[in-house]
Structure 1
Amino acid sequence: MRDSRPRKSKSDRTRETILEAARTLFAEKGYDGTTVRDIATAANIDPAMVIRYFGGKETLFARAADIDLRLPDLSDLPAPSMGEALVRHFLSVWEGDGGGSALPIALRSAAVNELAAERLREIFATQVAPAIARIAGPDTPAVAGLVATQILGLAFTRYVLKLPPVVALPRERLVTDVGRAIQGYIDGARR
């Protein structure tokens, strides 16, 4: 039986190889610690090919850190379960159920690189704030910011810093405990 899927061109395969190498290196070493030469070496190609396909490190970083959080519509959920639903969703994205390899890239790099920090602010403004706006009303900026402190703090300590007590916590404990904190922010805005 013959595979009916169209074959990828050599150009497409090269582009994917470069992008995967970049994602791995940006996640491990951050933006500033990764060079075009490092990416080319990991992809087993000439550095000029990285420039040819992506124009440079900044453009490649933007592609590697392309993040769609696919946030659920919280307004469809019972009010007391919104915090837990958000934490459960983020853990799924971070732990691979949603293909979140770009998240550690952005988070690791944001502290030392303005491009990465701007990318996270953009994700906050275009994805997180609108999702919170549907449930928080006029206090949206504050609630969205407080939710971000919990989610990004959890992500940083569990997936970037790999703080042993946080890594060791079972997923459901994180959902319950961090969800409770987030639920408090949501409930405060709904009063």
Structure 2
Amino acid sequence: MAFTERSAQTRAAILAAAQGRFAVEGYERATIRAIAADAGIDPSMVIRYFGSKAELYAAASAIDLAVPDLPPDQAAHRYAKAFLDRWEAGENAAEAILLRTAPTHPESAQRVQEIFGTQIVPALRAAFPDDPDIEPRAALVLSQTLGVAYVRYLLGIEPLASMDPAVIAAAVGRAIQSHLTAPLEPGD
């Protein structure tokens, strides 16, 4: 096995171990020693590959939501389905880390804000380029999907935890559609 291939495997093992620890224990409680033990390496290797716990955390929580193209007439349902598909497929380790740590770790909360501003808002702005309220609408969309992530995937609260994902996607899609198209001013 080549040195670079072995290095890539070690780096991947550290990253996977870190994602597991950060997701379960949060930033403060996860230790370099525990992460190294999970990866089957010496703790000094974690520092060698990532520099510090903060840099390891940044790598472990890097997220590309891969928001799909959102045609205006299908934006809400396509967004909801893509969100649920990602969580159902287990492609959410970094998101789980951020959502578990954001309430107590300011850097995590800032990272959620960055993802919102660089991935979610632009995708919705592309779908609704003439809407001057797209940022508050996008925030409402985010609140809807974060709520589902917390209740279904992180807390496992029933009956949402065992509901059919297609049913959830349809219901969340309808709520998102309202966030994207209904007037934002208080009504009667």
TM over 0.5: yes
Which residue does 1:31 correspond to in 2?
27
Q: Give me the whole-angstrom Cα distance separating, in 2, the residues matched to 1:150 and 1:8.
A: 43
Residue in 1 aligned with 2:106? 114
Which ranges of 4 or more aligned residues in structure 1 deviate by more than 6 Å?
Answer: none
Whether contact under 8 Å (2:19, 2:93) holds in the other structure is yes
Identity of aligned residues (%): 40
Distance 1:150 1:32 in 2: 27
- 1:101 partner amino acid: A
Residue of structure 2 equivalent to 1:48: 44
Rounded Cα–Cα distance in structure 2 between residues aligned with 1:140 and 1:18: 39
Q: 1:44 to 1:7 in 2, by over 3 A?
A: closer
Corresponding residue of 1:149: 143
Paired residue secondary structure (1:53)? helix
Paired with 1:111 and 1:142, the residues of 2 have a C-alpha distance of: 21
- Aligned counterparts of 1:102 and 1:157: Cα–Cα separation in 2: 17
Q: CA contact under 8 A between 1:150 and 1:182: conserved in structure 2?
A: yes
Q: Is the 8 A contact 2:14 2:46 kept in 1?
A: yes
Number of the residue aligned with 2:87: 94
Distance in 1 (CA, whole Å) between partners of 2:160 and 2:27 is: 25
Post-superposition CA distance 1:105-143 (Å, at most 9, x none): 111111111111111111000000111112342111110
CA RMSD of aligned residues (A): 1.8
- Report the 3-state secondary structure (helix = DSSP H, G, I; strand = E; otherwise coil) of the residue aligned with 2:85: helix
Q: 2:176 maps to what in 1?
A: 182
Query: Using the alignment, how far apart are the partners of 2:60 and 2:26 within structure 1?
Result: 12
| Consecutive unaligned residues in structure 2, runs of 5 or more | none
Q: Is the 8 A contact 1:139 1:189 kept in 2?
A: no
Are the structure 2 counterparts of residues 49 and 186 from structure 1 closer, same or farther at C-alpha, using a change threshold of 3 Å? Answer: same
Q: What SS is found at the alignment partner of 1:138?
A: coil
Alignment-derived partner of residue 164 in structure 1: 158
- Once the two structures are TM-superposed, the CA of residue 82 in structure 1 deviates from its matched residue by 2.2
Change in CA separation of 1:45 and 1:7 when aligned onto 2, cut-off 3 Å: closer
Query: Distance in 1 between the 2:99 and 2:7 partners?
Result: 30
- Report the 3-state secondary structure (helix = DSSP H, G, I; strand = E; otherwise coil) of the residue aligned with 1:30: helix
Paired residues, number: 181
Amino acid in structure 1 at the alignment position of 2:147: G
Change (3 A) 1:51 1:165: same
* TM-score (structure 1 length as normaliser): 0.88
Equivalent in the alignment of 2:134: 140
For the Cα contact (< 8 Å) 2:75–2:127, is it kept in 1?
Answer: no
